[in-house]
Amino acid sequence: MRLDKFIAENTELTRSQATKALRSGLISVNGTIQKSGATQVTEPDQIMFDDELLPWVEENLYFMFHKPVDVVCDHDDANYPSVYQFFAPPYAQKLHTAGRLDADTTGLVLLTNDGQWSHRITSPKHHCEKTYLVTLADPVESYYQQRCLEGILLRGEKQPTKPAKLEVLDDYNVNLTLSEGRYHQVKRMFAALGNKVVGLHRWKIGNLVLDEELAEGEYRPLSPQEIEDLVHE
């Protein structure tokens, strides 16, 4: 297998990003820096990316996980448990998240070892929508829907948010659908509207809805159809 293909399949890097990483001297094979993506690698070659050993994976893995509160999407965190701690050891070191959630946000997280697939979900150019149930400190105002559709200028940024869809459920709860993923975007949008988010739960990515049978902290494999639908909407 070509080295650049191996990197793209086993990290979140695209093929072009893998090429840049190689040229930057971030990739080594059996202790030797390699800068050519055409280098052939086979198991059990030891391939390191930025001082991290990349495992050889026999098959692509895709999971839906119901993230509890106070759990992070990092492999290591001094303050909170990680989503990876909920997975058996053979999986934990092979997976990465296709999009993160903050520690205080619950709901749908996708985990995979397929870097190309996760890139299609997280890349802004593919516009994969994410839907959140948002609970607010103060009542919903009538102008919120229009402001979300028009785009909201967030503090410290020069460009407004892309149009977002807001569905009012009751005085304090809304569904918000985004096609981009800026830093703390949902919280910052409502802060710009003069409100405060007190509860945040992601329940949908693309057309994939969080399985109601999954309790917090549980996961299940995605079906072949679910895997395909997420990248071919």
Distance CA 221, CA 230 (A): 14
- Given CA atoms 48, 52, 58, 64 in this order, what sign does their dihedral have? negative
DSSP-based helix, strand, coil % in the chain, nearest 5: 25, 25, 50
**49 and 26 in contact (C-beta within 8 Å)?**
yes
Separation between Cα atoms, residue 140 and residue 148, nearest integer Å: 13
Tokens 């639908």 locate to 229
CB 132 within 8 A of CB 173: no
Closest CA to 117 of 60, 66, 78, 74: 60
Place of tokens 């948010």: 161
Place of tokens 């619950």: 106
> What is the spatial distance between Cα 57 and Cα 113, in angstroms, rounded to a whole number?
8
Question: What residues contact residue 18 under an 8 Å CB cut-off, 6+ apart?
Answer: 4, 7, 8, 11, 37
Kind and range of the H or E element at 167?
strand 165-168
Positions annotated as catalytic residues are 102
**Residue 92 neighbours by CB distance under 10 Å:** 15
